[in-house]
Each structure stands twice: as C-alpha cells, then as structure tokens.
Amino acid sequence: MVAIGKKVKNFSRPATGDKEISLKDLAGKKVVLYFYPKDSTPGCTTEGQDFRDAKAKFTRQNTVILGVSRDSMKRHENFKAKQKFNFDLLSDEDESLCKQFDVIKLKKLYGREYMGVDRSTFLIGEDGKLLEEWRGVKVKGHVDEVLEACKKHK
C-alpha cells in the first residue's frame, strides 16, 4: 500500500490511445491518479469532465492527469471520445493498481453488498513520492481541491 511521503512503486498499465503508461516515464512531473468506479456513469462522467475542463491549469503546474477504472480499453476509448477527455485513462481490469492503492472497498447499493472502487485521488510528486491522497471523494469541488494541492507542492 502507498503512504504519504513514501515513494510509489512503479506501475505500468494499458492506456487510451493504444499506449502503455508507466509511472517511471512520468518522472519530473506531478501525477494526479484518480480512481473512479465505472465509465459513463453520472458521477464518473462529471468528475472526468471537471478534470478535462481544468487540464490547462494542471499543465501549468507541471501535472499529468490519469483516470483509472477496472473497465476495458474498449470502454475507456469510447468514454474518452464521447466526453472529449484531454488526458489518458488507464485500464486496471486485473485490479493490480487498485490493490496497490487500496481502493477496492465493500460497497452497498440497494441493500446489495459488493466489492467496488472507492472514488479516490492520489497526487504523486515529481520525485515519485506520494504527496496527498483523497479517499471517499465527493465529486463536487474535488478537482479544485486537487489543483490547490498541486499549487502548494511546488
């Protein structure tokens, strides 16, 4: 599991645009890694749109945005195209990245219990160390909070 102030273990995942993205390839940049439950659902769509709309501000802070869910690459490509996302989505179908960041939690929906992704965001520093984390994220205002954290960590 990851801890604030500690180096994040390198990961490599398939990404939109027929890429493979590794944390080590992003050295020298801050990384916003946001985990969300499912492509094309209301909260996940809004969160992605908020990051999309703020991308230029994150870029000015030397920060890359990456969205992560357990959806397939095909679903990610469709979601990204439909929402005109200007950042990549990583597919974590085997849940290895979700487990690395401990975001799989017991959830309840209409009285049914299941294991799902707890909406969470992590800010990784230019040196690969975890700077901040947000768990159990509420979408409204979240992107602004993450952007402020990016500005704080110069």
The dotted CATH code for 12-152 is: 3.40.30.10
Q: Where are the domains of the chain?
A: 12-152
Check residue 114 and give its pLDDT: 87
Could you report the per-residue pLDDT of 97-144, keeping only the tens digit for each?
A: 999 999 999 888 888 898 889 999 999 999 999 999 999 999 999 999
- Per residue in 80-99, pLDDT (tens digit) is 999 999 999 999 999 999 99
Is 150 among the residues known to form the active site? Answer: no
Residue 37 per-residue DSSP state: S
The beta strands (E) that lie in the chain are given as: 12-15, 19-22, 30-35, 63-69, 88-91, 104-109, 112-117, 120-124, 130-134
| Catalytic residue selected from 8, 15, 23, 44 | 44
What pLDDT was estimated at residue 38? Answer: 96
Q: What is the pTM of this model?
A: 0.95
Which residues, other chains included, contact 121 with Cβ-Cβ below 8 Å and sequence gap of 6+?
A: 32, 33, 34, 35, 133, 134, 137, 142, 146
